[in-house]
Structure 1
């Protein structure tokens, strides 16, 4: 349906790197009609503070000026519920369910960052987004449908 920019951060996540990613995404310019979209999966190995650390990401997202937040995972549900209603995108139980809806998560002109712990399978969403508009032969049917991926 149109080009978008994909930032693949699907291999590592902790509260500090999440917040840095939000600031970076918030500073990026978007094309007319585009949005700053973040897709997040659970941060793992945070111990007894996991719930508070996930929920505590909401103020950083608001401060960064992001437009839509899609989330997957039990811990990210806490963030989803803590966000202002206008920022809430999709929440699914796991990354595979969110990846299955990849085309519905974005619009032409969006800048999309996928971030999450490797163990929470954030890469499934990044791969699904990267493959939008790619034919079975691996060729993009038109340049307008190709994501511009950065890492």
Structure 2
């Protein structure tokens, strides 16, 4: 089993670290912060769900988009999880069950993006980078400016709590 897990982690690391310059369509950014300086933020609607992400007693506000994937994901909340470092740009956690997926080719990952890789791997990104891989968008953190610092340096796993 350890060989299988190690092989999966190596493959996942390879897949998420590869960059691509191909033009693809990015999902609509669902930042809900009214202080956001870009024009891609959206207002909180009845179809979006506010969430809190707590890391080492620091809480970040976020939102989940409306989709069949997030409907299934919300049933898992509140969720205490130990997320593992990968590639110096993300933390991941294997969910206890598979979720429905609708993967999209994402051109650019943004710090604060919360996505599903495959059908059961939750990924929280804390760095911006280009990718040619597909993820199912779940939502994001509204103001991720302190996210990298909160997650800590190095490859230590970290306990994170997600709540509605």
| Smaller-chain TM-score bracket | under 0.3
- Structure with larger RCO (C-alpha < 8 A, sep 6+): 1
Larger strand proportion, structure 1 or 2? 2
As a proportion of its length, which structure holds more helix?
1
Q: Calculate the TM-score normalised by the size of structure 1.
A: 0.24
Question: TM-score scaled by structure 2?
Answer: 0.23
